[in-house]
Chains A and B, each alone.
Chain A
């Protein structure tokens, strides 16, 4: 899937700061961060519509999203915790059809030492 690119693909961290990056080439106006722990469904973390943060789920404050433009999404993580080990997916959609189809990237697998 080259329509939504995420980097890095794998990340191993101690208690450090890092940013995950995502870019979508679909012309969508809504972008999302999802967290997927092992053998669990994706859980919505953040949602951006036209660069505006619409919904911020109950997520630890060490996760800070940023949307520099409508096609890019960042997730800044500070002082990671072992419970943060998971795969982080970026997704996008058209806002007026957001409930119909989400397009997901390949994800960033975060392993916390």
Chain B
């Protein structure tokens, strides 16, 4: 089983829609969780860090479920500019070495 698993998609949604991605992780010792956004042929950019049960930043909400070992990212009122690949990552305590999933592709259309 891979350390971090994500549905590669693509998720194809209209503008204004709400979309959610899930990401499961296998290491129960993981303490830090992250969502990154990556545009085509660009570097990943940190979108949100999740250290406790969840985090919210504007239209974006990340939630952590330690019992089921998954984190989710909810995007409300999708914009065309939200089209990108969303990578989830986790780091075990003390290592500070994020391990990434393969990413989920989101396409927001007019």
Physical interaction between A and B: no
A-contacting residues of B (Cβ < 8 Å)?
A: none
B-contacting residues of A (Cβ < 8 Å)?
A: none
